[in-house]
Structure 1
Amino acid sequence: MFRYLFSRFECENTPRNFQKEIKIMENHGDHSHLQQRKKRRLVLFPLPLQGHINPMLQLASILYHKAGFSITIIHTNFNSPNSSNYPHFSFRSIPDGLSETEASTADIIAFDMLLNVKCAVPFQDCLAELLGGGGGDDDVACLITDAVWYFTQAVADSLKLPRIVLRTSNVCSFNAFAAIPLLYEKGCLPMQDFQFETPVLEIPPLRYKDIPIIETHDPENLNRFLKDMVKQTKVSSGIIWNSFQELDELAMTNLKQEFPIPNFPIGPFHKYFPASSSSLLAQDQTSISWLHKQPPKSVIYVSFGSITGVNETEFQEIAWGLANSKLPFLWVVRPGLVCGTEWLEPLPKNFLEMLDGRGQIVKWAPQQEVLAHSSVGVFWTHNGWNSTLESICEGVPMICQPCFGDQLVNARYVCDVWRFGLRLEKKVERGEIERAIRRVILEAEGQKMRERIMILKDKMDTCLKTGGSSYQSLESLINYIMSF
């Protein structure tokens, strides 16, 4: 099955994204109120992984452009954002103390726990300096950190600063993560093979195989990590969600029973700005010109995100499944996607020549633009939340190949609750791949998926407009921050 890994990505090639000023919304208050907000500073602290950096910087831009707050970003040296793309923000770098080995580990839980230890003192020193006047004349209203930075609650408490948590995934997956320690206490975990298809009564509609377990060298680490994250989120001043009420309504109702703190579903973040991105990898724009030449709703877009990997056999099965479908495809093959290779070496001999232009392979694509393109008919995805949400926003059905963590939960909801996706349940095999593609692109089943996802897309469009759920939630968030 798919594996996951993550490595040090350089940010020098990050596309220019928010450099063009976006007019502040007039209906957020009169000029005097905006001036007041400009005197309030927010300090944001993203986790240094692609799927976490993107939404945090998007949130920063929303709060800057839509509300007029001043923004300071504290970030680690590892995977540091390119500050030149955000001239309206202040940036403060802190040492993370990671060795080359620690920075390239595949054990993401051990990595997150290590960061929480190594960054504690440098972060506290940096934040204390900002509060002491080192950040300019603006008054710091609050701290906004990724939920994974659980150590920051103690720092915020010691400095008497409110801390709001950003959860970069959705409410459904957070509820699942929060339930894992309870399932361990009940003896339901670690799971046995016979449990895989059994429903999890505590977190419907999940089955045990959907529980977002993340492999780590010490299984007890996951339990400790989740307990710390949940505990420190529960005592925070509130949670911001990159989701919208209509998508997560039932899960939000369940969440509020366990987390009776203010919740602000203000997403989708990326829809506040046109084609915004804070990608750590250079985007290949030739994919867009290639899409222009393809028929409507015909293209299979394939991307497994920034940290998922495959073995050589899986890679070749994917290649043959795409080729045998006889349909055009755009395939993102990130360098290092196949362990031990540079890029396309594992492709079958003469594979590209055989396609005769029907396939396009790139190292990284401008995903939001790709999904919005009229020629794209299906997104074969790992179901990271950013990718899943972007697909929903553009009305593109999905073929789901989750790997770990919240991807498993997202895939279950896409396929069985929202019902606009197919999950590849078995091993990666060319015949199953071909059948799944044809079902979604060519058959009536896929058309019904497209109709269902378009209904949700319309709800998303409405939620961002004046009076919509995310619009109102953002208003509430701004007023809440101003009350500190």
Structure 2
Amino acid sequence: MAGKNIHAFLVSFPCQGHVNPLLRLGRRLAALGALVTFCTPEAAGVSIRKANSITDDGRPTPYGRGAIRFQFFDDGWDFDSPNRDDLPAYFSQIEVAGRVKLPQLIHKEAEAGRPISCLINSPFVTWVSDVAESFSIPNAVLWTLSCACFSAFYHYHNGLVPFPTEREPEMEVQLPHVPLLRHDELPANLHPHNTHVYIRDVILALFRNLSIPFCVLMDTFEELEGENIEYMSRILGRPIRTLGPLFKDLESELESKKESKALRADFFKAEDCIEWLDSKPPRSVVYISFGSVVHLQQEQVDEIANALAESEVAFLWVVRPPAREMNSKPHVLPGGFLDKVGDRGRIVQWSPQEEVLAHPSTACFMTHCGWNSTMEALASGVPVVAFPHWGDQVTNAKFMVDVFKVGVRMCKGGEAEGRVVPRDEVASLLEEVVRGPRAEEIRANALKWKKAAEAAVAEGGSSYMNMQCFVEEIARFNLVPN
């Protein structure tokens, strides 16, 4: 049994975009026989416990051939502290608290007869690598963006190619084995006009610590970014192991698909919308979601709503209240909107996205192009209307539209462009993807990537074999006694 006697301890930054892929990795490890402890600050634990049927009382939940348990730690701030609205300060606070709490947890696990075989962390908590090194525990990092973005940050950090500057803000960037990127197609955090400097610096901390992890894991697959993955592995001098799409279980390692769906760590409880989708014809519903962080201008919400109201398309739209730290007002739908659209429209605050994208009624996905959503769309064979806003989203949109050719783009980047896309343009783009002259070509490309993703996680596929190799690497460290 590949994962027997392995205790993998996973530490995530407390945001949905990091928790999801890391827990998916944990499910893979548990399916192969490992004991997995998933760890993140208690601030996220409150939401995770509320929205999912999990406990953190130390009892493992059986999963596949192994088990998963949850462990939440106190980050040192009260839940209602106004300091939580200051994200740069919160990054620092998690590190200060984590450097104290994680060693305590490591000792506690050893005393309980569960010594840790491997510490695995997501970006934004790169201090985990330092703690692992201090305990001589093998460390791996799960990069939660594309390999193209990894290359961009690596080359930026090491000064290997020119990037835009204050003096030349529109400089194009040529990375090895990556298509030429315009200044507005780079990960926005690397542009001199970036307003999220603290996020850039937190990400770059990972690249200062890259000598510690014995490998870099990625939620992508070789068929998608093969040449770049091979090149980056070579210049890193250590393997990049692609495991994606992580939201898809390795078919031969998990007998019950119900088991997979039951073990989640969503921050919000998904609303039941599958029965509504069941009532719609095949390829007739536009699914709209901009993730857990992006918050549109009210004017943009009005334009999308009016485009939907004036069209004949059915739609499922995730409209979430803004995160507290944004200090923004909740969106308000235009008066009479719900009456006008009737049963052809459904508004929810959170959806079971994997199931929605896999549903035969879903025709296309209007998305912010976060990497998790990008992988889920590609692996589900769903065409996209790309509406990126900041960060890696603008790069992902470039690849989705120009490289993978699975959709159309509403803009280069909502935050950078600073314009409201009018309703006529929104309606035209939806028409182009769902029923226009290029719709069949776009859908054929999307289905091609779906098949490639399925092949990657099938027995003997690239991600399947990389997962086996990763587990065998951990086992070879032989830190857990038989």
- State if a TM-score over 0.5 links the two structures: yes
Cα deviation for residue 103 of structure 1 reads 2.3
Residue matched to 1:172: 148
Give the number of equivalent residue pairs.
Answer: 438
**Quick one: distance in 2 between partners of 1:185 and 1:463?**
32
The 3-state SS of whatever aligns with 1:210 is coil
Residue matched to 2:308: 322
CA distances 1:129-172 after superposition (whole Å, capped 9, x unpaired): 33xx23x3244221111132111222111111111111122212
What letter is aligned with 1:440? V
The 3-state SS of whatever aligns with 1:309 is coil
What letter is aligned with 1:399? V
Cα deviation for residue 72 of structure 1 reads 2.0
Contact 1:377 1:396 survives alignment (8 Å): yes
Residue matched to 2:235: 258
Q: Report the TM-score, using the length of structure 1 for normalisation.
A: 0.84
What letter is aligned with 2:315? F
Structure 1, unaligned runs of 5 or more = 1-32
Select which of 73, 85, 97 maps to 2:38. 73
What letter is aligned with 1:46? S
**Quick one: distance in 2 between partners of 1:180 and 1:442?**
41
Instruction: Give me the identity figure in percent.
Output: 28
Residue matched to 1:268: 245
CA distances 1:50-107 after superposition (whole Å, capped 9, x unpaired): 0111111111111011x211122232112024342962333333221235223234x4
**Quick one: distance in 2 between partners of 1:398 and 1:127?**
43
2:258 is aligned with 1:281: no
What letter is aligned with 1:104? D
What letter is aligned with 2:433? V
**Quick one: distance in 2 between partners of 1:412 and 1:469?**
25
The 3-state SS of whatever aligns with 1:44 is strand
CA distances 1:362-398 after superposition (whole Å, capped 9, x unpaired): 1111111111111111100011111111111111000
Where does 1:46-85 land on structure 2 (aligned, <5 Å)?
Answer: 46-65=12-31, 67-80=32-45, 81-82=48-49, 83-84=54-55
The 3-state SS of whatever aligns with 1:177 is helix
Cα deviation for residue 268 of structure 1 reads 1.2
The 3-state SS of whatever aligns with 2:292 is coil
What letter is aligned with 1:463? A
Where does 1:442-481 land on structure 2 (aligned, <5 Å)?
Answer: 442-481=435-474
Residue matched to 1:407: 393
Q: Assess, with a 3 A threshold, how the Cα gap between structure 1 residues 201 and 113 changes in structure 2: closer, same or farther.
A: farther
**Quick one: distance in 2 between partners of 1:260 and 1:128?**
32
**Quick one: distance in 2 between partners of 1:455 and 1:376?**
17
Q: Report the TM-score, using the length of structure 2 for normalisation.
A: 0.84
Structure 2, unaligned runs of 5 or more = 62-66, 412-418, 478-482
**Quick one: distance in 2 between partners of 1:394 and 1:73?**
27
What letter is aligned with 2:445? R
Cα deviation for residue 185 of structure 1 reads 9.2
Select which of 189, 201, 225 maps to 2:202. 225
Contact 1:39 1:138 survives alignment (8 Å): no
CA distances 1:436-462 after superposition (whole Å, capped 9, x unpaired): 000000112121010011111111111
**Quick one: distance in 1 between partners of 2:167 and 2:457?**
41
**Quick one: distance in 2 between partners of 1:321 and 1:184?**
45
What letter is aligned with 1:442? R
The 3-state SS of whatever aligns with 1:432 is helix
2:173 is aligned with 1:208: no
Cα deviation for residue 184 of structure 1 reads 11
**Quick one: distance in 2 between partners of 1:268 and 1:225?**
25
Q: Assess, with a 3 A threshold, how the Cα gap between structure 1 residues 179 and 102 changes in structure 2: closer, same or farther.
A: farther
Residue matched to 2:107: 128
**Quick one: distance in 1 between partners of 2:17 and 2:460?**
29
Instruction: Say which is worse superposed, 289-298 or 435-444, in terms of deviation.
Output: 289-298
CA RMSD of aligned residues (A): 2.5
Q: Assess, with a 3 A threshold, how the Cα gap between structure 1 residues 191 and 368 changes in structure 2: closer, same or farther.
A: farther
Select which of 81, 97, 102 maps to 1:118. 97
CA distances 1:202-256 after superposition (whole Å, capped 9, x unpaired): 3533211122234999876455434321121343111111111111212202312
Cα deviation for residue 404 of structure 1 reads 1.5
Q: Assess, with a 3 A threshold, how the Cα gap between structure 1 residues 187 and 364 changes in structure 2: closer, same or farther.
A: closer
Select which of 82, 85, 88 maps to 1:101. 82
Select which of 347, 362, 366 maps to 1:376. 362
**Quick one: distance in 2 between partners of 1:73 and 1:173?**
26
